[in-house]
């Protein structure tokens, strides 16, 4: 007896392998499976196209912490390639900067901060994937034995069945069990599957002798075919094309394994109907490809626009200054993030687009570095200017002719801000000297002035000027020193009229904003001119924060105790150890500040 499985097998194989670009069934031939695996890998690449290095490492870590980590080898490999690409490019950028600085390339040495974590994740996954492969082999061997036992039962059903056996029920159980028997090795499946259908055909030939059983079988299978066709018709209107293609492939598998044979008059009719619906759904695959292609072309256009904007920033029309380059650096960083977050581009353009982006970034960095190299000569001139200001401050720090000295020191502070950058090695040293001279003068000025001679209106005027100065502070180099100088100057000014006292609240609010902008705690500021009450209040606040930090550290260390052999090498605990180190460092700084206050330093 010939079944439809044999009549239409080639045709069904063609359709079932076409309907899904991601998955393959056990009935798919190896050459077609390879095509599907390539397509699935392309979809994985598309899914992680806009991921950053940090996100890629987090996703890799998430995969290796799942129970069946080895099963996600395709996604892990795509993430691994993505992360490796990022690390390699960033190392190349560092090397480019190193060589641009006039250093020989052979002396370059740099360890990417994420390299150790990346290597650890790859090694852990390799071990888990090997274990997964071994488990798969063992599972497939068990499934092979199980399927062979099912075939043996099928064979006995038509050769040695005892009188009174319910053949209809028995064949239903065998077919149901076969469909859920699990995967076997590809090299075994083809022969195994042919063997199964051979004995299934022999069983149906035996049923020819029993019309009642045969009619029951035909009726049951026809009902299944009608259900499959009905579901396939619904898939024609499924809005998610990929979902429709995936489910259609599953329906083809059901058709081959559970919905044949049927009576002769329904055989070709139902198959042709199902095949026609399958072809219509498959035609929708072009919609999916078109949507992806359109999205990738839009991404390509966006990325080229970003590259063009970076090129413009690298080649300013007017002579650039420090402010221009600082703003450009921030803008380029935003553009870089936007480029990385923008999705994938057409494969044929991907490598060239990425290389254009990296080349443009390097050109920008070269132009920026050349500008700052040119500033080194002017930095020595700036240093000489600031040394003159320091000498003037030292010569007048004990001057008690307030009408002359106070305006002089204000002028010195204004001139200091106007002078440009000096060599980094001298920045802190000369600032400390200038600040000490200014603080000495203002401390002397405060001590020699008393409440009876305080000019409260003049104090308000000075505080207003200092507040306006504070509002201009940004987060550029030297901003923290400016804040310290402004705070010390504020401390040295006396009271203001009661109706103007709101200026104190405005100053404190603005100060908090500037401290937040520069990522520094108020308690860590170096302040001069604090009164005894102000020192006491600051010491109280530091003690309170020390107590809070000690409690947080104890809590984190107690949490570590719940893990067996907690170690920094454990990726899950690394953030906790880093947090403890950070809090302990902050705690030590606060303790030192408190000690200085108590010691009167």
Nearest residue to 253 via CA among 199, 189, 205, 203:
189
Nearest residue to 328 via CA among 340, 314, 341, 318:
314
Residue burial 170-202, b: 16+ Cβ < 10 Å; e: rest: bbeebbeebeebeebeeebbeebbeebbebbbb
Quick: pLDDT tens for 5-27: 333 333 334 334 333 333 333 33
- Residue 562: CB partners within 8 Å, gap ≥ 6? none
- Name the one residue in this structure whose structure tokens are 């400016």: 482
- Residue 93: CB partners within 8 Å, gap ≥ 6? 358, 361, 362, 365
Q: For residue 9, what pLDDT is reported?
A: 35
Write out the DSSP string of 8-58.
THHHHHHHHHHS-SS---TTS-HHHHHHHHHHHHHHHHHHTTT--HHHHHH
d(CA 283, CA 295): 20
> CA triplet 102, 335, 476: central angle to 5 degrees?
65
Please give the biggest Cα pair distance in the chain: 128
d(CA 150, CA 180): 11
- Which residue numbers in the chain have pLDDT < 70? 1-50, 161, 163-164, 207-210, 375-377, 449-455, 523, 527-533, 597, 599-601
d(CA 33, CA 338): 36
What residue spans define the domains of the chain? 53-184, 189-345
Q: For residue 260, what pLDDT is reported?
A: 72
Nearest residue to 253 via CA among 543, 67, 19:
19
Q: How far is CA 458 from CA 86, 426, 455, 530, 556, in A?
A: 59, 36, 5, 20, 52
Q: For residue 45, what pLDDT is reported?
A: 55
Nearest residue to 510 via CA among 443, 464, 461, 457:
464
Q: For residue 391, what pLDDT is reported?
A: 92
Nearest residue to 2 via CA among 208, 283, 213:
208
pTM over the 0.75 mark: no
Backbone dihedral angles phi then psi of residue 20, each to the nearest 5 degrees: -130, 125
């Amino acid at each position: 007896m010939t079944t439809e499985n044999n009549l239409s097998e080639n045709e069904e194989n063609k359709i079932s392998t076409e309907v899904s670009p991601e998955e393959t069934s056990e009935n798919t031939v190896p050459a077609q499976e390879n095509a599907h695996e390539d397509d699935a890998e392309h979809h994985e690449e598309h899914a992680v196209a806009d991921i950053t290095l940090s996100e890629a490492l987090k996703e890799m870590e998430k995969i290796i912490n799942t129970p069946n980590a080895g099963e996600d080898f395709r996604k892990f490999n795509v993430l691994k390639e993505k992360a490796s690409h990022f690390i390699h490019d960033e190392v190349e950028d560092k090397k480019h900067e190193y060589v641009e600085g006039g250093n020989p390339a052979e002396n370059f040495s740099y360890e990417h901060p994420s390299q150790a974590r990346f290597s650890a994740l790859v090694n852990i996954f390799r071990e888990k994937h090997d274990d997964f492969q071994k488990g798969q082999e063992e599972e497939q061997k068990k499934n092979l034995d199980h399927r062979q036992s099912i075939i043996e039962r099928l064979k006995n059903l038509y050769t040695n069945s005892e009188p009174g056996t319910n053949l209809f029920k028995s064949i239903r159980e065998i077919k149901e069990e076969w469909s859920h028997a699990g995967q076997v090795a590809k090299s075994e499946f083809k022969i195994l599957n042919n063997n199964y259908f051979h004995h299934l055909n022999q069983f149906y030939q035996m049923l020819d002798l029993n019309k009642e059983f045969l009619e029951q079988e035909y009726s049951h299978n026809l009902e299944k075919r009608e259900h499959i066709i009905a579901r396939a018709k619904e898939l024609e209107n499924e809005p998610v094309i990929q979902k429709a293609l995936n489910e259609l492939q599953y329906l083809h598998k059901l058709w081959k394994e559970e919905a044949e044979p049927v009576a002769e008059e329904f055989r070709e009719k139902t198959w042709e109907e199902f095949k026609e619906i399958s072809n219509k759904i498959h035609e929708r695959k072009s919609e999916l490809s078109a949507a992806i292609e359109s999205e990738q072309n839009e991404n390509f256009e966006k990325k080229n626009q970003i590259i063009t904007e970076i090129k413009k920033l690298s080649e300013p029309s007017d002579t650039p200054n420090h402010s221009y380059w600082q703003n450009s650096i921030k803008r380029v960083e935003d553009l870089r993030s936007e480029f990385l977050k923008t999705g994938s581009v057409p494969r044929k353009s991907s490598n060239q687009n990425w290389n254009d982006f990296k080349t443009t970034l390097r050109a920008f960095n070269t132009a920026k570095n050349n500008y700052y190299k040119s500033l080194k000569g002017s930095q020595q001139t700036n240093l000489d200017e600031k040394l003159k200001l320091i000498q003037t401050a030292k010569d007048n720090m004990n001057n008690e002719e307030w009408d002359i000295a106070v305006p002089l020191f204000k002028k010195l502070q204004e001139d200091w801000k106007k002078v440009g950058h000096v060599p980094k090695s001298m920045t802190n040293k000369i600032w400390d000297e200038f600040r000490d001279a200014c603080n000495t003068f203002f401390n002397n000025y405060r001590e020699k002035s008393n409440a009876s001679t305080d000019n409260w209106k003049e104090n308000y005027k000075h505080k207003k000027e200092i507040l306006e100065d504070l509002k201009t502070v940004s987060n550029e180099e030297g901003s923290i020193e400016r804040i310290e100088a402004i705070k010390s100057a504020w401390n040295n000014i006396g009271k203001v009229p009661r109706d103007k006292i709101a200026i104190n609240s405005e100053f404190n609010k603005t100060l908090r904003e500037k401290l937040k902008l520069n990522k520094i705690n108020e308690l860590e500021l170096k302040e001069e001119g604090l009164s005894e009450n102000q020192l006491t209040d600051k010491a109280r606040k530091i003690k309170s924060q020390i107590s809070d930090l000690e409690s947080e550290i104890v809590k984190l260390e107690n949490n570590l105790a719940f893990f067996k052999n907690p170690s920094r090498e454990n990726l899950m605990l690394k953030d906790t150890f880093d947090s403890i180190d950070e809090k302990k460092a902050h705690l030590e700084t606060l303790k030192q500040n408190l000690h200085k206050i108590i010691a009167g330093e």
